[in-house]
Each structure stands twice: as structure tokens, then as C-alpha cells.
Structure 1
Amino acid sequence: MRAISVSKDIGATPGQLFSVLRTPARHAELDGSGMLQGRPAGPDVLGPGDRFSMAMRQGGLPYRSVNVVVEYEQDRLITWQTWGEFGGRRLVGGQCWRYELAASDTAGTTQVTHTYDWSGARLPRLIVELPGFPKRMGPAMAATLERLARAVAS
């Protein structure tokens, strides 16, 4: 399987965490990779099947990602699949970003598992592996979970 996951126990309820994760306007604030630039277009709060886009920057080049919520369980799971589109046609992408929330062994905390899954990506070797995303995503995703913890604490 082409996926990487990181987990963190965060001092918040699943509902508090899910509220932040399903709000695209908060995604750039959470992003540990530095690629998300904000300016989401689409619903203010995500639900099953919702489509939204986000301003992105990679290697100095700006673009917009198009994302579709493909897994959704209130206060437990949200996943979106991201694509690069041109003229309404999906050209690259297919990677999924998943957040799973589960009760932690420590009272008052929730274990959050963040997964980057590129097993469904179009041209995975070219667009994911050769540019080194698997190696870079682990630390970036750990930073994202740290930012998520700060976001729910404030």
C-alpha cells in the first residue's frame, strides 16, 4: 500500500476536532507542509460528497487543488481526495488525506491518525514518489497534528 500515517493524542473531544477538520477555512492554518495557501471555495462546512478547492503553492508555482469528501463519519472520520483539474478534466492527483478520530487511553483526549494515501493516485511514481513526497509528508503531517492541537486549545 502506498500510504503513510502519523498519530497524536490531542486534549480535545472528537467533536471539537472534527469541527475544525471539516472547516476548509481552517485548513491552511493547520497545514504543516507550507503548501496550502488558503482561499477555499465551496461549502463553509464539509459533509459527505462535498467538493471544495484550495489555493496551493509547490516549488514556487501557485495552483488550485480540487477536493472531494470521499469518507465521512461525524466526529470519527473525514477523508478528501485531491485532484488537479484543467477544463473540468482530472489530470493529476487522486491522493487522499484522511483524519481518523478515536478515544484515547488517556481521559479527555482523542487519538487523531492522519494518513496520506497515494495508492489511488494517477501517475504515483511521477507525481508523488519521484518528487519525494512520502519522505517529506511524515514530518509535515506531524506538524499538522501539532497545529490541530493548538487550534482546538485556543
Structure 2
Amino acid sequence: MSDYLVSESRTIAADPQRLFDIVADPAMHPKIDGSGTVQALRTGGPERLSAGAKFSVDMKIGAPYKVMNTVVEFDDGKRIAWRHFNGHIWRYTFEPAPGGGTTVTEQWDARHVWNRLFLKLVGFPKKNRAGIKGTLTRLDELVTQS
């Protein structure tokens, strides 16, 4: 595993398609984000993500900013990933778990980003690992408490 690929998994007691549909709904991103950085979905984007779709969100890390994302991987019910201007990728995979439920894996992939050393020096791998764990917890709570 690379320092520039952060990956965490969690088994959630829900159907893979149900979980995928939540992540493929950009309006849900502020609700499931465990990092506290995704503030709101910006208007004008799609209601459901698909291959090549573009969507924008309001973010805040210290100061507010906005970011435009493009879906770069899409296999309905199984895998979705998007990238923004810096080039790193946020990826989710959904696999049926032995015994029931779904193993959801979220990844932050900066292996091919030009400024990955800077990202490491300012602590993004560690911060993103904590945020990913928080997101998987929130996703679990959303589907198991509703």
C-alpha cells in the first residue's frame, strides 16, 4: 500500500445498490461526509452521478472554497470515483459481504498527483483516513437507523 493511497473498509447491514445510490446522490455528500469539509452541494449539477458527470460542492478547510468534481469511474452498484482539479481521486466500492450486508471501501488516491509530497507533508493521508472512517460510520448510521 502506498502512502498516497488511503483505504478503509466497513461492513454495513444494507444492500450494495442502496449504499451505492446514496453515494451516487451528490446531495447526500454533506450528510455522509465524516471529515467536516463538505459543506453543501452547489446548484446546477445532476441529481444522480454517472460516468463523466460533473458536480460542485462548497468546501471548508480553514477557509471556504468550492470544488468541481468529475466522475472518472462508474460501475452502477459496484464502484464510483470522482476527481477534482488537483487530480486526486475519491473512490467507493461496494461488495456483498460474506454472511450478508455490504463491504464498503472508500479510498483517497493521490498516487498520480503532481504535488503528492506536499499533501503528505501537510498531513492529508492521516487526516483523510480519519475522515474516511467518519464517512463510513455516518453512511452506516444513515442506513441502519432509518
- Name the TM-score class by shorter chain: over 0.9
- Partner Cα distance (2:122, 2:47) in 1: 32
Instruction: Identify unmatched segments of 5+ residues in structure 2.
Output: none
Contact 1:20 1:152 in 2 (8 A): no
Deviations 1:88-118 (A, max 9, x none): xxxxx111000000010122x0000110001
SS of the residue aligned with 1:94? Answer: coil
- Partner Cα distance (1:152, 1:40) in 2: 24
Larger fraction in strand = 1
Count of aligned pairs between the two proteins? 142
- Partner Cα distance (1:31, 1:120) in 2: 24
Q: Which ranges of 4 or more aligned residues in structure 1 deviate by more than 4 Å? A: none
- Partner Cα distance (2:99, 2:128) in 1: 27
**Corresponding position: 1:138 with 2:129:** yes
Task: State the TM-score, normalized to the length of structure 1.
Answer: 0.88
Kindly, what percent of the aligned residue pairs are identical?
A: 35
Alignment of 1:75-114 (within 5 A): 75-83=77-85, 93-107=86-100, 109-114=101-106
SS of the residue aligned with 1:121? Answer: coil
Alignment of 1:114-129 (within 5 A): 114-126=106-118, 128-129=119-120
**Corresponding position: 1:34 with 2:36:** yes
Deviations 1:47-102 (A, max 9, x none): 0110111000012x11111100000001000000122xxxxxxxxx1110000000
Residue 130 of structure 1 deviates from its aligned partner by: 1.8
Task: State the TM-score, normalized to the length of structure 2.
Answer: 0.93
Shift in alpha-carbon separation, 1:122–1:65, aligned structure 2, 3 A: farther
SS of the residue aligned with 1:152? Answer: helix
